[in-house]
Amino acid sequence: MNKPPRKKNPTFGIAVFIVVAILVVIATLFYNAIREKHEFESQHAAPSITSDAAVAAATAATAVTPASGAAR
């Protein structure tokens, strides 16, 4: 009357382990790629932003200085 216990299939466990390991490797690759992209952009984009900001600040300072000098 009682059924004998089912034997566990070790192949299924190994397949799940392999799939999880592959997903972890892919996630690591994406994480490293995104991190290095942000690092690269911060190193190479900062000088152009700074120079644009410096030009804008110099232009603004030049425009403000004559106006304040003329008012006095």
Tens digit of pLDDT for each residue in 11-62?
999 999 999 999 999 999 999 999 999 999 988 875 554 456 666 666 665 5
Confidence of residue 6 (pLDDT cuts 50, 70, 90): confident
Q: How far apart are CA 47 and CA 53, in angstroms?
A: 10
pLDDT digits (tens, 9 = 90+) for 52-64: 666 666 666 555 5
Q: How many CA atoms lie within 13 A of 39 on its CB side?
A: 6
Identity of the amino acid at 27: A
Q: How far apart are CA 52 and CA 41, in angstroms?
A: 16
| H-only helix segments in the chain | 10-71
Q: Tokens representing 1?
A: 């009357």
